[in-house]
């Protein structure tokens, strides 16, 4: 069984599931747990730098990235979290990244392909509407990480499940143009 009694976000990296935060606003948490199959138990790790709900997680090169979601401000109003935090699995250490999401996204889908994290769709608490945007976090070159907008979904939706499937080039002739960012932000 999962260690947190409330629904939370789980991500699996090389057969080790990580679980953190919660998916409802009844209780905001910053706990991070990892399952150790040798001990057959969940182990507490360093807590996230900020509580989050409705966020997404993805792992690239032994770093677990936490993106989006929301937290409460000093008035107990929900606020979007745009900054990105990364967790070093080997050092059990969190770091606030120097790059942020271009816009806040809750209840998004997330997928990883070629050292890029794609945050897909979601919900905006600013507009109270589903989102059609895709934000891409490119981690392919250390020290030159960047976030940019990818192609727009044909429809706005939250709670999306995402993954990458291989497709022959002839079924996606515009694939190359979709991989070229038309909006760049970050270090050069």
The pLDDT value given to residue 76: 86
pTM of the shown model = 0.80
Tens digits of pLDDT across the chain (188 residues): 555 554 445 555 555 566 665 545 567 888 888 888 888 888 889 999 998 888 999 999 999 999 999 988 889 888 899 999 999 999 999 999 999 999 999 999 999 999 999 999 999 988 999 999 999 999 998 889 999 999 999 999 998 888 887 766 555 555 554 444 444 433 33
The pLDDT value given to residue 7: 45
Domain residues for the domain of 74 are 9-178
The string over 125-158, giving b where at least 16 C-beta atoms fall within 10 Å of a residue's C-beta and e elsewhere, is eeeeebbebbbbbbbeeeeebbbbbbeebeeebb
**Residue 54 lies inside a defined structural domain of this protein:** yes
Task: Identify any residues that bridge with 136 across adjacent strands, giving them in sequence order.
Answer: 118, 148
The pLDDT value given to residue 8: 46
The pLDDT value given to residue 173: 56
Q: Rounded to an integer, what distance in angstroms lies between the CA atom of residue 183 and that of residue 12?
A: 30
**Residue 2 lies inside a defined structural domain of this protein:** no
The pLDDT value given to residue 157: 93
The pLDDT value given to residue 3: 53
**Residue 4 lies inside a defined structural domain of this protein:** no
CATH number, domain of 114, equals 2.120.10.80
**Residue 66 lies inside a defined structural domain of this protein:** yes
**Residue 72 lies inside a defined structural domain of this protein:** yes
Q: Helix, strand or coil for residue 176?
A: helix
Are 164 and 178 in contact by the 8 Å Cβ rule? The answer is no
**Residue 59 lies inside a defined structural domain of this protein:** yes
Q: Rounded to an integer, what distance in angstroms lies between the CA atom of residue 120 and that of residue 106?
A: 10
| Number of domains present in the structure of the chain | 1
The pLDDT value given to residue 141: 87
């Amino acid at each position: 069984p999962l260690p947190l009694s409330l629904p939370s976000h789980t991500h699996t990296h090389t057969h080790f599931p990580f679980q953190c935060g919660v998916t409802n606003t009844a209780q905001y948490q910053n706990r991070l747990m990892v399952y150790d199959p040798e001990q057959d138990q969940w182990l507490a790790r360093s807590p996230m730098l900020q509580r989050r709900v409705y966020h997404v997680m993805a792992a690239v090169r032994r770093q677990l990235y936490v993106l989006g979601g929301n937290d409460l401000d000093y008035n107990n109003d929900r606020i979007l979290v745009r900054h990105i935090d990364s967790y070093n699995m080997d050092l059990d250490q969190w770091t606030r990244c120097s790059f942020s999401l271009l816009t806040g996204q809750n209840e998004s889908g997330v997928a990883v392909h070629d050292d890029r994290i794609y945050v897909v769709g979601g919900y905006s608490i600013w507009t109270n509407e589903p989102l059609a945007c895709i934000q891409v976090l490119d981690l392919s070159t250390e020290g030159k990480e960047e976030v940019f907008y990818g192609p727009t979904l044909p429809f706005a939706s939250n709670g999306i499940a995402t993954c990458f499937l291989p497709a022959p080039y002839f079924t996606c002739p515009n694939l190359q143009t979709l991989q070229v960012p038309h909006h760049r932000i970050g270090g050069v």
